[in-house]
Amino acid sequence: MKLIAPFLFAALSTVASSTIKYKLTPEPDRKTVLVEITVEKAGEKPVFQLPTWCPGFYFLIKYEDKVSDFAATAADGSKLSFEKGKSEWTVKNPGKGAVTVKYRVKGDDAGLGFFGTNVRDDKAFVNGPSAFMYVAGRKEEKTELQVSLPKGWDIATGSESKDGVYTASGYDELADHPIQMGAFERRQFKVEGIPFEAIWVATNNTFNPDLDAETEILRKVSIPAIKLFGSAPFKHYTYIFHLAIGNFGGGLEHRASTVIAIPNSRQLGLDDLAAHEYFHAWNVKQIRPANLGPFDYMNITRTANLWFSEGVTDYYAKMTTYRSGCQEKAWLFRELSGQVQEIQGARGRLGITLADVSRRAWENGGFGVNGVSYYTKGLLVGWIFDAVIRSETKGKKSLDDVMRLLYKKYALPKPGFAEDGLMLAISEVAGKDLSALYQRMVNSTQELPYDLLNWIGLNVDANGNVGELGRPTDEQRARLAEWLSR
Q: What is the CATH number of domain 185-274?
A: 1.10.390.10
Where exactly are the structural domains of the chain?
18-181, 185-274, 306-483
pLDDT in tens, 185-200: 999 999 999 999 999 9
pTM confidence score: 0.94
How is 49-72 classified by DSSP, letter by letter?
A: E--SSBTTB-S---GGGGEEEEEE
Tens of pLDDT, residue by residue over 257-276, are 999 999 999 999 999 999 99
Instruction: Show contacts of 367-375: CB within 8 Å, 24+ apart.
Output: 370/346, 371/342, 371/345, 371/346, 371/347, 372/343, 372/346, 372/348, 373/342, 373/346, 374/306, 374/307, 374/310, 374/311, 375/310, 375/311, 375/314
Residue 297 pLDDT grade (very low, low, confident, very high; cuts 50, 70, 90): very high
Q: pLDDT, tens digit, for every residue of 35-64?
A: 999 999 999 999 999 999 999 999 999 999
Of 9 and 104, the structure prediction assigns the larger pLDDT to 104
3-state SS assignment for residue 186:
strand
Give 425-472 pLDDT, tens digit per residue.
Answer: 999 999 999 999 999 999 999 999 999 999 999 999 999 999 999 999
Would you tell me which CATH number, out of the four given (1.10.3470, 3.10.20, 1.10.730, 1.10.390), belongs to the domain 306-483?
Answer: 1.10.390
| CATH fold match for the domains 18-181 and 185-274 | no
Is the pLDDT assigned to residue 6 strictly greater than 90?
no
Please tell me the predicted confidence (pLDDT) of residue 294: 93
User: What pLDDT band is residue 345 in, cutting at 50, 70 and 90?
Assistant: very high
pLDDT classification of 2: cutoffs 50, 70, 90: very low
Q: Are 90 and 135 in contact (CB under 8 A)?
A: no
Q: How far apart are CA 182 and CA 180, in angstroms?
A: 7
Helix axis angle, 399-410 relative to 374-392, nearest 10°?
110
pLDDT, mean over the chain: 95
Is domain 18-181 in CATH 3.40.50.1390, yes or no? no
Residue 364, pLDDT score:
77
Residue 17: per-residue pLDDT: 53
Instruction: Choose between 2 and 180: higher pLDDT.
Output: 180
Q: What is the pLDDT of residue 248?
A: 78
Tell me the percentage of the chain whose pLDDT exceeds 90: 93
